[in-house]
Amino acid sequence: MDENVKKKVMLSGIQPSGDLTLGSYLGAIKNWTELADQYDCYYFMADLHAITVRQNPADLRRRTLAQMAQYIAAGLDPEKNVLFIQSHVPAHAQLGWVINCYTMFGELSRMTQFKDKSAKNAENINGGLFTYPALMAADILLYQADYVPVGGDQKQHVELARNVAERFNGVYGDVFRIPEPYIPKVGARIMSLTSPENKMSKSDRDPNGCVYLMEKPEDIMRKFKRAVTDSDTENCVRYDPAAKPGVSNLIQIYAAITEKSIPEVENEFVGCGYGVFKPRVGEAVVECLRPVREEAERLLRDKAYLSEVCRTGAERAGYTANRTLRKVYKKVGFVI
Ligand code: TRP
């Protein structure tokens, strides 16, 4: 690519909600590494967003850093991406306030995530939970992002960011770039090991359904040995997601890790029953995750390195963010 052509900007916020899962590792993160070549990528740990629901302070702090370390270990290179912690860049809160004043009560009331979360946290329906999408819009608009990779649950929020940006631009001229949701290239879609009709997720009620990057090898092996296979009688490693969701999911996982095609995997296990197949998938996962986990552990011990990454990331992010913020402050009439 011509070095002089300015790359498009991609931005994503990540809730520091716990350890990374095998599902997100195989499904998304591997893609992100490629994206760094094509886009100017900004990724931040969304701690301002996290406190819209009650957090244990020590846990939040630990998870924020742990997540940073895990993303870096998983291949998100801090030299090629701008990685930072949201609260380290005050412009998020500052633009967040301005955006709040250009976002309508009615718009926020229609957000389905707000309705869901307030039903679940009936004892703590705070203002932040309600105005969360305005802060998210500020996150995006600060960096003049072209693309925001989001899952289905966040699409409505990106839509809101577009509407607010257009409204603001309509009054003050071209201040914000209008962002678009970016539908990530479908990596492997990994399903729960215990209920393979659902996506692998940390919110799975059965802890055996989800495998984490930081898990001990013996725990990973146990989960794979117990993985649900299908109630057909053929005991045969054959890919058929409709009839055999459990086995097909294991085939997908094995294929994604070994970079083999599905027929190649089927061939490799011709004549093997599930009792042979399941531990083999487990071993492949253990070996794939081992170096990532070890690197994350090493980074977490290296406090000086991690804080330096966070500091440089925040500095680079702050530079871009403050340019937008100053422009906005000027437009709305603040004395600067
Ligand atoms: N709301 C997002 C989530 O819950 C996290 C997030 C915060 C985000 N700010 C963002 C995502 C900006 C994309 C862009 O997952």
Report whether residue 136 contacts ligand 1, using a CB cutoff of 6 Å: yes
Q: How far is Cα 236 from Cα 229, in angstroms, rounded to an integer? A: 10
Average pLDDT over residues 195-200: 92
| Per-residue pLDDT reduced to its tens digit, 261-289 | 999 999 999 999 999 999 999 999 999 99
Q: How far is Cα 292 from Cα 300, in angstroms, rounded to an integer? A: 12
| Per-residue pLDDT reduced to its tens digit, 206-259 | 899 999 999 999 999 999 999 999 877 788 999 999 999 999 999 999 999 999
- Type of residue numbered 326: R
pTM over 0.85: yes
Cα 181 to middle of ligand 1, angstroms: 12
Task: Tell me which of 11, 136, 144 to substitute to probe ligand 1's pocket, judged by most ligand atoms within 8 Å of the beta carbon.
Answer: 136
Residue 158, CA atoms < 13 Å, CB-side half-sphere: 22
Please report, in angstroms and rounded to a whole number, the separation of the first and last CA atoms in the chain: 39
| Per-residue pLDDT reduced to its tens digit, 92-150 | 999 999 999 999 999 999 999 999 999 998 999 999 999 999 999 999 999 999 999 88
- Nearest-CA residue for atom 11 of ligand 1: 13
Q: Which atom of ligand 1 is nearest to the CA of 149?
A: 13
Cα 310 to middle of ligand 1, angstroms: 18
Are the CB atoms for 228 and 194 separated by under 8 Å?
yes
Report whether residue 49 contacts ligand 1, using a CB cutoff of 6 Å: yes
Cα 328 to middle of ligand 1, angstroms: 22
Residues with catalytic roles: 117, 199, 202
| Per-residue pLDDT reduced to its tens digit, 67-108 | 999 999 999 999 999 999 999 999 999 999 999 999 999 999
